[in-house]
């Protein structure tokens, strides 16, 4: 369906742009159209929990990277922005930059992406630092062609069509990915343009994932470090008592057992 819509959009735009009598508005759209052509076509990959984070090469504010090499078998969060100097995103990047020590303590590298080129990234970073009284040190990927946003399944079909016809901003380039040391995607969140992300939730999920991996447990609603955790359904209560201690498994229901780790 999406591929058909995209092909239709491409055909429509191609005929308009190759027509010498095309409207002024259509001719104005041509640079954006060329940018769209630089974006891979067809279906965007369907990234899900457990998918390998796709590799790519990119220019960033900290130099050129090969993403898999940059990951370096460490935890990472990748978050994206539709354009530089967008107000909600400005507050988000400032807040993540301020939490550098918290992410480092958990062994998590941060990397941002914005669908503009490096020249405006640098002045945006200066502004973010100024506005949030911080020093943003993690790389921001330059994705002016939106090819990485496409690779990471961030662009809605209406936005793909809008970009092809009239350019503008792809509002849905507002994802968060948590990637583990095996390069597997462990969480995806997609935020609307009007709602700022929650840094505490990203840190909380990192804590929960690291707890789950390290101790073989699950975590309940709103869990925070230090609170009781859940014995996974696959572990019997007898096994759990052997593993976590005889007096350290609280069976609320046969299927809901808590323990302390
Ligand atoms: C923002 O304020 O960050 C924003 C504005 C337009 C589209 C997406 C994000």
**Which atom number of ligand 1 is nearest to the Cα of residue 196?**
3
Tokens of 27: 């001719």
Q: State in Å: Cα 176 to ligand 1 middle.
A: 15
Does residue 5 line the site of ligand 1, with CB under 6 A?
no
89 is catalytic: yes
Substitution site in 80, 84, 86 for ligand 1 pocket (most atoms within 8 Å of beta carbon): 86
Query: What is the pTM for the complete model shown?
Result: 0.84
Q: Measured in angstroms, how far is the CA atom of residue 253 from the centroid of ligand 1? A: 45
Q: Which residue has the tokens 């609307």?
A: 192
Q: How many other β-carbons are positioned within 10 Å of the β-carbon of residue 38?
A: 10
Which residue in the list 9, 26, 71, 89 is annotated as catalytic? 89
Q: Is the CB of 193 under 6 A from ligand 1?
A: yes
Residue by residue, pLDDT tens for the chain (261 residues) are 344 333 333 333 323 223 322 322 332 334 444 444 445 567 889 999 999 999 999 999 999 999 999 999 999 999 999 999 999 999 999 999 999 999 999 999 999 999 999 999 999 999 999 999 999 999 999 999 999 999 999 998 888 888 888 888 999 999 999 999 999 999 999 999 999 999 999 999 999 999 999 999 999 999 999 999 999 999 999 999 999 999 999 999 999 999 999
Distance 90 CA to ligand 1 centre (A): 9
DSSP states along the chain? -HHHHHHHHHHHHHHHHH-TT--HHHHHTHHHHHHHHTS--SPPP---TTPBPPP-EEEETTEEEEHHHHHTTSEEEEEEESSTT-HHHHHHHHHHHHTHHHHHHTTEEEEEEESS-HHHHHHHHHHHHHHHT----S-EEE-TT-HHHHHTT---HHHHHHHHHH----TT--EEEEE-TTSBEEEEEE--TTS---HHHHHHHHHHHHHHHHHS-B--TT--TTS-EEPPTTS-HHHHHHHH-TTSEEEEETTEEEE--
- Cβ(124)–Cβ(114) below 8 Å: yes
How far away, in angstroms, is 113 Cα from ligand 1 center? 14
């Amino acid at each position: 369906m999406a591929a058909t819509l995209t092909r239709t959009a491409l055909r429509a735009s191609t005929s308009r742009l190759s027509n010498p009598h095309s409207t002024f508005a259509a001719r104005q759209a041509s640079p954006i159209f060329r940018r769209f052509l630089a974006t891979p076509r067809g279906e965007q990959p369907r990234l899900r929990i457990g998918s390998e984070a796709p590799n790519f090469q990119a220019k960033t504010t900290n130099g050129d990277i090969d993403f898999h090499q940059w990951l370096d078998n460490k935890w990472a969060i990748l978050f994206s922005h539709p354009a530089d100097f967008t107000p909600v995103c400005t507050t988000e990047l400032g807040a993540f930059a301020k939490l550098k020590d918290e992410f480092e303590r958990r062994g998590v590298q941060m990397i941002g992406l914005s669908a503009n080129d490096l020249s405006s990234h640098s002045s945006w970073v200066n502004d973010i630092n100024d506005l949030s009284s911080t020093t943003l040190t993690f790389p921001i990927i330059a994705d002016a062609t939106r090819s990485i946003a496409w690779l990471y399944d961030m662009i809605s079909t209406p936005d793909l069509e809008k970009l092809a016809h009239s350019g503008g901003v792809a509002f849905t380039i507002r994802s968060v990915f948590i990637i583990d040391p095996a390069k597997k995607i462990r969480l995806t969140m997609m935020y609307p343009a009007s709602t700022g992300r929650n840094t505490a939730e990203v840190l909380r999920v990192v804590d929960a994932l690291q707890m789950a991996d390290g101790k073989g447990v699950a975590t309940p609603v709103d869990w925070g470090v230090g609170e009781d955790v859940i014995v996974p359904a696959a572990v019997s209560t007898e096994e759990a008592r052997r593993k976590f201690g005889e007096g350290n498994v609280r069976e609320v229901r046969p299927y809901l057992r808590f323990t302390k780790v």
